[in-house]
Amino acid sequence: MTAGSQGLTRRKFLRTAGSAAAVMWMSGCGLLTSRARLPDVVQVGAVGLFPGDRRKYKGELPEDALRAAVGRLNALGGILGKQVAYRGAHAGTEDEALDGFQRFLADPTVIGVVLATPLGADRIADEAGRHGMPVISATVDFTAASGLYPEVPARETLFQFAIPAEWSLRVLCEYARQDRRYSSAGLLYDEFAFPRVRETAERIARSVGLDLVWAEEFGKGERSLEEQLDDAGEAHPDALILWGDAEKAAQVSGALAQRGSAYESSPVARSSSAALWRPHLMGNPEAMWEPDWALAEPARPSPGSVSVGDIGGFRKGPQWLPEVWGSDHVLGWEKDDKARRGLRSVVDSAYVLFEAARRAGRADREAVMGVLEKEHEYQFASVQFSLGGPRRIALEPDDLCLMVLERAEPAPAIPPYSLGREWSDGLMAEHDMTVLLRPRLEANLRRAPALVGAMLAGGYGTECAKLGDGKLSAVCTLH
């Protein structure tokens, strides 16, 4: 049977068997018992990586977050007297993503969709608007290219939890110029996955007084990465910003080390030349927020390499609720490895859809949209956020924090620094990303005073150098 005929069979089955097919599917996944009746179920759909054999996939999957969210909500009684559940549509290709979304459209028990893949994202957003399906993008930044409502009126049903690329670039450029006192930067980027990133980087760098002396798309002109880095070395920018995925970050890290250009310290980066170039490596959250890039071959990661994250999504602090929920409510969770589970953007995206139905008093798409269109405050996985009204993005610029690569022992720096408590608590991998508190501390305290206060009091994150009065200082030569 071909892939196309298999998809047609699935659609025919759904039309014939109706939504009961969804209940049977979830029962097989252990989400519902065979005794569950259709009227007792409210579902969200999720489009992303849902492989048949997750053991072949290294890294975290949307299912980890969805299981935790659903487990917690059902432990609290579900919504409107009904159990909640999710349906995952595996998106290994764009066609699979679109086919999965069409199945959700055909099932009236699906009140909304969490989007966790860039594959087919624009077409899914447009289809959702035409059919009134609420969609929350957990991982795709629609502001970078095709746009959100009201810029695109037809996308009235689309909301976003993903960090906008413009915000991430600004945080990195401000850190490079104002904190590390760099004068120049280079950019290596994936134009296909991140449209307009070069022009955005050029504009933001210019606004903060940072000179973008070199910029090139990955593989342009069929050039190898080594050839591109040789060319970048001729311009020897103080910081090298990469905008791609975890695989590209690992490749860049390994190639820099191979040519003797691995990051060592800020003073060395500032004094680089064409003969000896050792730039400060910085990257987008999709590539470097999690440690996957640093644990993959051929990466030879340098401590002090930085990315951007969401302070409410820091999963190695005082308490990460989705992991607690998974341990409490998800059968077999404790048998998994020690990874910190439950990506905040996926957990909270699913929660918002269910909570909108609860607030509306009705579990249907129209009722969910009626709530989402109004600006409301929400809080579930970690810190409070708002969504709806004229703004369709859940996060604010003050949510953004810097994430820094550390290893099991502090790297050489002047003055010496200590690792955060997350290392002694056994939560970290050999190389791992944690919060670099100082550069964004004021903004993060404004947004999440309770969380950040608990992190400071508990000694979590990298605080780096302290002055005599206990205030954090930027004098550290590493970060």
> What would the pLDDT profile of 352-383 be if each residue is shown by its tens digit?
999 999 999 999 999 999 999 999 999 999 99
**Do 188 and 153 sit in the same domain of this protein?**
no
257, 276, 310 - which closes a domain: 310
d(CA 262, CA 264): 6
DSSP 243: E
What is the reported pLDDT for 395?
A: 97
**Do 31 and 140 sit in the same domain of this protein?**
yes
Number of alpha carbons in the 13 Å side-chain half-sphere of residue 44? 35
What is the reported pLDDT for 281?
A: 98
Question: Minimal CA–CA distance to 134: which of 403, 356, 332?
Answer: 356
Which parts of 18-61 fold into alpha helices (H)? Answer: 20-28
**Do 59 and 125 sit in the same domain of this protein?**
yes
| Helix or strand (DSSP H, E) at 407 | strand 400-407
Q: Nearest 5°: CA angle at 288, between 412 and 70?
A: 125
Number of alpha carbons in the 13 Å side-chain half-sphere of residue 214? 20
What is the reported pLDDT for 338?
A: 52
291, 310, 329 - which closes a domain: 310
| Helix or strand (DSSP H, E) at 187 | strand 184-189
d(CA 417, CA 9): 60
For residue 478, is it within any domain?
no
d(CA 468, CA 147): 48
288, 310, 332 - which closes a domain: 310
For residue 84, is it within any domain?
yes
Looking at residue 172, which CATH number applies to its domain? 3.40.50.2300
**Do 184 and 211 sit in the same domain of this protein?**
yes
For residue 393, is it within any domain?
no
d(CA 163, CA 169): 10
What is the reported pLDDT for 3?
A: 36
For residue 102, is it within any domain?
yes
**Do 146 and 253 sit in the same domain of this protein?**
no
What is the reported pLDDT for 336?
A: 67
d(CA 85, CA 70): 6
How large is the angle between the packed helices 3-17 and 20-28, nearest 10 degrees?
Answer: 120
**Do 123 and 145 sit in the same domain of this protein?**
yes
> What would the pLDDT profile of 90-103 be if each residue is shown by its tens digit?
999 999 999 999 99
pTM, entire model:
0.90
138 is in which domain, residue-wise? 3-164+320-387
What is the reported pLDDT for 331?
A: 76
d(CA 340, CA 292): 13
- pLDDT tens string for the chain (479 positions)? 333 333 333 323 333 333 333 333 343 333 333 233 445 899 999 999 999 887 777 778 999 999 999 999 999 999 999 999 999 999 999 999 999 999 999 999 999 999 999 999 999 999 999 999 999 999 999 998 789 999 999 999 999 999 999 999 999 999 999 999 999 999 999 998 899 999 999 999 999 999 999 999 999 989 999 999 999 999 999 999 999 999 999 999 999 999 999 999 999 999 999 999 999 999 999 999 999 999 999 999 999 999 999 999 999 999 899 999 988 988 777 776 655 678 999 999 999 999 999 999 999 999 999 999 999 999 999 999 999 988 899 999 999 999 999 999 999 999 999 999 999 998 898 999 999 999 999 999 999 999 999 999 999 999 988 877 778 899 999 99
| Cα→Cα distances 362→81, 113, 296, 356, 357, Å | 11, 17, 46, 9, 5
* DSSP code per residue over 75-138: HTT-BTTBEEEEEEEE-SSHHHHHHHHHHHHT-TTEEEEEE--STTHHHHHHHHHHHT--EEES
The token duo for 74 is 């059902």
**Do 466 and 430 sit in the same domain of this protein?**
yes
For residue 108, is it within any domain?
yes
**Do 432 and 326 sit in the same domain of this protein?**
no
Q: Name the residue type at position 346.
A: V
For residue 123, is it within any domain?
yes
**Do 306 and 329 sit in the same domain of this protein?**
no
Question: Minimal CA–CA distance to 38: which of 50, 24, 52, 51?
Answer: 24
For residue 466, is it within any domain?
yes
**Do 73 and 197 sit in the same domain of this protein?**
no
| Cα→Cα distances 22→9, 98, 102, 422, Å | 15, 18, 14, 40
For residue 392, is it within any domain?
no
Number of domains the chain contains:
3
Question: Minimal CA–CA distance to 194: which of 229, 151, 170, 164?
Answer: 164
**Do 155 and 169 sit in the same domain of this protein?**
no
Q: What are phi and psi of 385, to 5 degrees?
A: -150, 165
**Do 88 and 116 sit in the same domain of this protein?**
yes
Q: Which residues pair with 145 in a beta bridge?
A: none
